[in-house]
Amino acid sequence: MVRDLEVFFGVGMTIGTVTARSTFDCVKNVTFQNVTFYHPLKAIYIKQNPVYPKGTVLGPGEGGMISNINYLDIKINNPVWWNVYIGP
């Protein structure tokens, strides 16, 4: 739980990066609550960016996952770039 924050000129409430390994990497069960942003580059930022060599085939239990991320009572004032950015 992350809550009751004022953020100025930040990169936001960021979740990630999940990388490829022989085990299953994950980020889960995170809540951001009552956060106010002022001029963020990105306010809400989720980045899953596994790096696999070309032609890689993942086996059972390999890779990564981001799940159960909650944002409650979020205020975003004058973002510089993106309000919400999801991607690598």
DSSP string, 26-50: EEEEEEEEEEEEES-SEEEEEE---
Contact 2, 44 (CB under 8 A): no
pLDDT score for 51: 60
Instruction: Average the pLDDT over each of 29-33, 34-38, 59-63, 73-77 and give the range with the smallest value.
Output: 59-63
Q: What is the pTM of this model?
A: 0.75
Above 80 in pLDDT, residue 57?
A: no
Q: Which residues of 47-76 are buried (b: 16+ CB within 10 A; e: fewer)?
A: ebebeeeeeeeeeeebbbebeeeebeebeb
Banded model confidence at residue 70, pLDDT cuts 50, 70, 90: very high
